[in-house]
Amino acid sequence: MKQIRTYIRRSLQEIYSPGEISALTRIICRDLLRIDEMSLYLDKDINLSDTMQRILDDTVSRLRRNEPIQYICGSTEFLGRSFRVTPAVLIPRPETEELVERVLKENPSGGRLLDIGTGSGCIAVSLAVRWPQAEVYAWGVSAEALRVAADNAARLGAKVFFSVQDVFGPSVASPASLDIIVSNPPYIAESEKSAMEPNVLEWEPSQALFVPDTDPLRFYRRIAEVGQSMLVAGGKVYLEINRAYGTETASLFESFGYHSIRILPDLSGNDRIVTAIWK
C-alpha cells in the first residue's frame, strides 16, 4: 500500500491538498482497484496486476486533468445509496441531502410531488424509495441527464415519472394537484465563477449551475409561478438556494402569495433552504 500511496501523492501533490489526496487515495483503492477494507486498514503490501496498474495510471492522469473522482468512478453516494453520475449531471452535494432529509422529516407520506431540474434523479429517486406509495414526478431539460436519472430509478427500485421539460417552456405539462414541489435549481451567479474549483468549472454541466448576475432568482420566480397553478391549497415548496440570496428568495415567494416562509441553514450555518406554503 505504501508504494500506491506514494505514487498517488507524488502525482497529485501539485494540484490537490493533503486531505484531498488522502480521500482520493481511499476511493481509488477501494472503488477502482477493489482492494478490500482489511488490507487498507492493515496497510498491507499490494502487488498490482498489469490491469490494476493501468487503472491506477489512467485514474491519476484523469485527476491531474481535474476530472472529478465521481465521474471517474461513475457513481457517488447520496443518502447511503449509490447513484450513477456522468458529466451530463451535476454531482450531488451534502447540502442537497439536507434538503431531502427536510422534506422527509416534515411530510409523512409524500402524496404527489414534483422535482424540478432532477439531474441525476437523486432527489426524486430518494423520495420515491422512502415513499413507495407516493406519485413522484421529475422534470429535466436534458434528455441525456434524464437517461441517467431513469437508470438510477431502475437500479434502486424507485417509481418516478420522468419528463423532458423546460420549466421556462411555453406549455408546461403539469401533473395537477401537487402536494410538494422540491428543487435544487441553478443558483450560482456568473460572477462567482472565479472562486470555484477547476473540477467544477471544467467538468460539471454549466446549465445546472449558473444563472446571470442580472437575474439570479430567475428559476425561483418561475417555480413560484408553477406552484401557483399546480399546488393544492396548503401545498409546500422546498428549495435549495444560494446562501447570498436567502432573504431575497423568501421575499420573492411572499410576493407571489406564499406564506409560512422559512430560511433554513445548512450544517455549515449558511442559508441553504427556503420553504413556503401555497394559500
CA distance 275 to 279: 13
The whole-number pLDDT of residue 44 equals 66
Provide CB contacts within 8 A for 177, sequence distance 6+.
Answer: 112, 230, 232
pTM to 2 decimal places: 0.93
- Residue whose C-alpha is closest to residue 50's, from 38, 42, 58, 41: 58
Segment 78-95 shows an average pLDDT of: 97
Q: What are phi and psi of 5, to 5 degrees?
A: -60, -45
Instruction: Determine the pLDDT at residue 112.
Output: 95
For residues 199 and 68, the answer to whether their CB atoms sit within 8 Å is yes
Give the tens place of pLDDT for each residue, 4-53: 888 999 999 999 999 999 999 999 999 999 887 766 666 667 788 999 99
Predicted pLDDT of residue 172: 62
Give the pLDDT confidence of 210-227 residue by residue, as tens digits: 999 999 999 999 999 999
Instruction: Say yes or no to pLDDT of 100 above 80.
Output: yes
φ/ψ bin of 43: left (φ > 0), alpha (ψ from -120 to 50), beta (otherwise): left
How many C-beta neighbours within 10 Å does residue 206 have?
Answer: 12
Residue 175's pLDDT is 74
Give dist(CA 154, CA 251) in Å, integer. Answer: 39
CB under 8 Å, gap of 24 or more: what pairs does 255-260 form? Answer: 256/224, 256/225, 256/227, 256/228, 257/228, 258/224, 258/227
Least confident of 20-29, 67-76, 162-171, 248-257: 162-171
Q: What angle do CA 138, 139, 144 make, to 5 degrees?
A: 110
